[in-house]
Amino acid sequence: MPAEPYHLASQGTSLGVFGQAEVEAGLATGRFAVTVLSWREGEAAWVPLASRVEFGAARSAYVSLQPVTSPDFELAAGIFAKGFLRRWIRTWVGVLFRPSATFRPFSEGGRIGRALIWLLLAAALAVPGLFFFGQSGLTAFLRAIGKAVEVRTEALNLTYLGKALFCLPLWVAGLAALLTLALHVLLRVFGGGAAGWRTTFRVIAYLGGAWLLGSVAWFLVASRLNSGGLASGGPPYLATFLAGLTFFVLLARALALAHVDPGWKPALAMVVMLVLGCCTGCLAMVAALVPFFTPLGG
**Average pLDDT over the chain, rounded to an integer:** 79
CA distances from 99 to 25, 70, 108, 231, 298 (A): 29, 10, 18, 35, 59
| Beta carbons of 74 and 227 less than 8 angstroms apart | no
Residue of 162, 159, 135 whose CA lies nearest to 149: 135
pLDDT score recorded for residue 148: 61
The DSSP secondary-structure symbol of 152 reads -
DSSP per residue, 2-69: PPPPEEEEETTEEEEEE-HHHHHHHHHHTSS-TT-EEE-TT-SS-EEGGG-GGGHHHHHHHHHHSPP-
Segment 86-110, tens digit of pLDDT: 888 888 888 888 887 788 777 655 6
Cis peptide before 266 (omega within 30 of 0): no
Selected residue with higher pLDDT from 245 and 183: 183
Residue of 59, 9, 10 whose CA lies nearest to 39: 9
pLDDT score recorded for residue 136: 65
Segment 126-157, tens digit of pLDDT: 887 777 766 666 666 666 766 665 555 444 56
Radius of gyration of the chain (CA): 25
Segment 185-242, tens digit of pLDDT: 999 998 888 888 888 999 999 999 988 888 777 766 666 655 444 444 556 667 677 7
pLDDT score recorded for residue 149: 55
Selected residue with higher pLDDT from 71 and 116: 116
Range 161-190 average pLDDT: 88
Q: Quick check: 180 pLDDT over 80?
A: yes
| Winning range, highest mean pLDDT, from 22-26, 73-77, 164-168, 234-238 | 22-26
Range 163-183 average pLDDT: 88
The DSSP secondary-structure symbol of 228 reads T
Q: Which pTM value belongs to this model?
A: 0.66
Distance of alpha carbon 227 from its chain centroid, rounded? 34
At 296, the pLDDT band (50, 70, 90 cuts) reads low
For the chain, give every domain's residue range.
6-65, 72-293
Alpha-helical (H) ranges within the chain are 20-29, 56-65, 72-75, 84-97, 99-102, 113-144, 158-189, 197-225, 235-259, 264-289
pLDDT score recorded for residue 137: 63
Selected residue with higher pLDDT from 286 and 149: 286
Selected residue with higher pLDDT from 58 and 15: 15
Residue of 73, 179, 170, 87 whose CA lies nearest to 123: 170
Angle at 130 between CA 124 and CA 135, to 5 degrees: 135
Segment 55-97, tens digit of pLDDT: 888 777 665 555 556 788 887 667 667 778 888 888 888 888 8
pLDDT score recorded for residue 231: 45
**Crossing angle of helices 158-189/113-144, nearest 10°?**
110
Range 34-41 average pLDDT: 88
Angle at 239 between CA 233 and CA 244, to 5 degrees: 120
